[in-house]
Chains A and B, each alone.
Chain A
Amino acid sequence: MTEQDFTTNYKPTWCPGCGNFGILIAMKKALVELGLKPENVLIVYGIGCSGNGVNFLKTYAWHSLHGRAVPSAVGAKLANKDLTVIVMAGDGDGYGEGLNHFIQAIRGNTNITYVVHDNQRYSLTTGQAAPTTSKGTATKSTPNGLIEESLNPMALALSAGCTFVSRGFSGKADHLKDLFKAAISHHGFSLVDVFQPCVTFNNLNTFPWYLDRLYNLDEDKAYRRDNFEAAYKQSLIWGKKIPYGIFYQKARDTYEDNLPQLKGLALAKRPLALRNINKLLKDFS
């Protein structure tokens, strides 16, 4: 497989210079390096600029509703555990409309990878404030400055018990590729929050803004990603310096590991046959 095998003929509709391109390239490379075939990958998209990527990346795809990508992906994984299931959603999509699903999926630890295209804006709807927008930011929906504090996806995921918590940057595509590979290979629910500058509607969180601040946890030899307290401390760092990389990883049974019904052949691959209910009818006799 090559990157070309994961490329459709559809001309990308993202703005020139959009941070989403870095994510698309890194994902294709990761899938190729993991030796996956397009037919064995199901990518579930939310609604937003990230969701429009559904047309550009060639795999099986489910383009969900705004905020609803995660539960669709969980259902698909339970029904066919042989598929590699990845979610591509936006920060408004995933942390606004779909926040409850995010927390609940972490609890269940279904083996899917959740990639959040985090540009701190609702960009497809022309730049309103998102849950990750910095407090005080003036946008079309908050002309006098955003009153709410911004949401911290890393701290939230950690406190909810996420077994793989990470942050990438679309300006560091090679690192992002490795991050995707690690996340997809993780046995459980993995979060990759990706800083992805919106070149049209966000003039604060730009490529240079990130490059000035980001430091790579993966390059810190002293950092242990199985240390929850250390990860939590890192997750709270935001300002002149911002960490990225794998914050935390932990082995835990997945939801599907705990369902005896799913042992053996994937559910969707089993031939359907009429079930005899005579034994069950005893309770009603």
Chain B
Amino acid sequence: MLKKKAVNNLKNNLSWKIGGEAGFGIKSAGIMLGKILMRSGYEIFDYTEYPSLIRGGHNTYQLVVDTRPVNSVTARIDVLVALNKETVDKHREELVAGGAIIYDQDKFKVNAAFAQGKNLVVLGVPLTTLAKSAGGEVMRNVVALGASLALVGQNLTIANKVVTELFGRKGEVVVANNIKALQAGFDWVKKNLTGQFICQLPTRPAKDNILITANESLALGAVTAGLNFFVAYPMTPSSSILHYLAEIAQSTGIVVKHAEDEIAVINMALGAAHVGARAMIATSGGGFSLMTESLGLAAITETPLVIVEVQRPGPATGLPTWTEQGDLQFMLHAAQGDFPRIIVAPGDASEAYAIGAQALNLAEIYQMPVIILSDKLIAEGNSTIKRLADSKIKIDRGKLLSAAQLKSMKNYRRYKLTSDGISPRALPGMTGGLHIANSDEHDAYGFSEESSENRNEQVAKRQKKLETFYKTMPDPLVYGEPKAKKTVVVWGSTKGVVLDAYSQLDLKVKKKIKIIQYQYLWPLAKEFTKKMLKDPKSVLMIENNSNGQLANLIAQETGIVIKNKLLKSDGRPFFREEIIEALKKF
């Protein structure tokens, strides 16, 4: 083991990575560290890489910690915790100069030669021995956690509290053992490390933050806004929405159903929405593919439905547990026929909360499918965000009729032609509202009707609803220097890495750049786009896909062709260093 001399390049941020086989408790140790550091006043973003299997394989969990909000992953790491040798071999090159490796010296040896040039701290900790003496080998991860806390200058006050809360349900013995394990790792490093590590994260005043994924915050947005019917079929990376809502179903009174397949999922939700439930479903691209015919059914019957599509790299099974933004063009075109839909993409967990709530309103106001297009990076990645507050959320059910309103109407027509395209909606069970919700083209009552005149009227009526929405739709969001000539365009999770990279640029460079985030992708903000992107040579499009799908949509809708594109489709998110490089060159 190398002893570390005092260093003078101390920093109060950290990129920490733990690796090992599935089943080693990598993620649980990582989330514990995240919570501990959040309560110590730091901001967190986490990122997991794992193959689609339950035991074995190579898994990593990375925690990026800073004093300011963080929404991206770095390629370089400060600390590598290796529970197996593969982790050292695969990731040691990612360590920064002065970084540290904590590894289980009971399980394997590490040739320290590579560490010399980089002046690395190599800590061969007897993780297995220490874990066994604390009560079981399974706690190697917790011993490593204690060691990491010592390395970055934390104490165990907050850590012990977090461990007590997390393991409380499992009983006092489990809590006591884990506290012993934490202490053992902590003491070992205190005893064996001389000098100070480059990353020092002393406890700061804590903020009113929470640590949450966009899947969970999106679910909570919907819960806040009165969601009462949720159906899903498991599919990574959307499944944690199902898991979370299933867990809180009874306490919130929400019906949460795991249906037999995605076709059943969307049709159950449509049946429920038709009779008045606030319904949402969630899936990934593969499941959505199965739902497409029924997406059109939602449109022609004008049934409100929120569909969450959490993207992963396709086609087919693709890279099941990795990230991509490759489904935008699919969402735009899914299902036969011309019909309106709304597509909106959250850029982070805070936005996912607001959008989870608002999408339920939009679906009911415009009586059409609303697709929330998320992606794995934010959907499964935890980040610290300000405690969610519902102060801006309202429930708006649009033109849903009360029994009394319906009674006062004569000759009720469910699909009546109106100036905004939206017709008053009666629910089954109400007196005076009888109608057919018909997958065939239909007249104002819902009866099958194939005349040319009726067809034109109903197609135009449905389209009109989208025009009505377009008038009130919020513009894309603008960050950085609003008057700057150079424009970076993003959507979804790439917002985080671009804003993080931007904040690290020199003021001189920053002043020349603005960033536009498209939250609403359909309908596309045409006028805004024509105004803001009129000089395409000064635009850089950054997308996590291989074709530049938003760039193509912008070209289709406005004629503006963006040639300057930074694209990535290897399943990995953009790392902050890549974007800093790109912005500097831009």
Contact = CB atoms under 8 A, between A and B. Distances in A.
Interface of A: 8, 10, 38-40, 42, 44, 47, 52, 54-55, 58-65, 68, 71-80, 82-83, 100-101, 104, 259-262, 267-270, 272-277, 280-281, 284-285
Given A62-B274, A78-B255, A272-B228, 6 more contacts: A68-B294, A71-B263, A75-B271, A285-B210, A285-B211, A285-B387
B142 interface: no
Interface stretch (B425-433, B468-476, B505-513, B531-539): B425-433
A119 to B, nearest CB: 20
Contacts of B274: 62, 72, 76
Contacts of B294: 65, 68
A65 B429 contact: no
A75 B281 CA distance: 12
Nearest to B216: A284
Given A39-B434, A274-B395, A281-B210, A267 B224 contact: no
Contact of A61 (B257, B263, B272, B437): B437
Contacts of A74: 268, 271
A281 B388 contact: yes
Q: Which 6 A-B pairs have the closest CB atoms?
A: A75-B271, A268-B276, A75-B268, A72-B271, A79-B272, A60-B428
A53 B448 CA distance: 10
Contact of B259 (A59, A71, A80): A71
B185 to A, nearest CB: 25
A60 B263 CA distance: 23
18 contacts: A42-B428, A61-B438, A62-B274, A68-B297, A71-B268, A72-B267, A75-B273, A79-B276, A79-B279, A83-B275, A100-B264, A101-B264, A104-B260, A272-B228, A274-B225, A275-B223, A275-B226, A277-B390
A269 B427 CA distance: 10
A274 B226 contact: yes
Nearest to A68: B267
A277 B271 contact: no
Give the contact-size bracket for chain B: 35 or more
Interface of B: 210-212, 216, 220, 223-226, 228-229, 231, 248-250, 252-255, 257, 259-261, 263-265, 267-279, 293-294, 297, 301, 387-388, 390, 393-395, 397, 427-440, 446-448
Given A65-B267, A72-B271, A78-B255, A272 B447 contact: no
A54 B275 contact: no
Contacts of A44: 271
Contacts of A39: 428-434
A62 B429 contact: no
A173 to B, nearest CB: 24
Given A55-B447, A65-B297, A275-B252, A80 B439 contact: no
Nearest to B435: A60
Nearest to B442: A63
Nearest to B349: A284
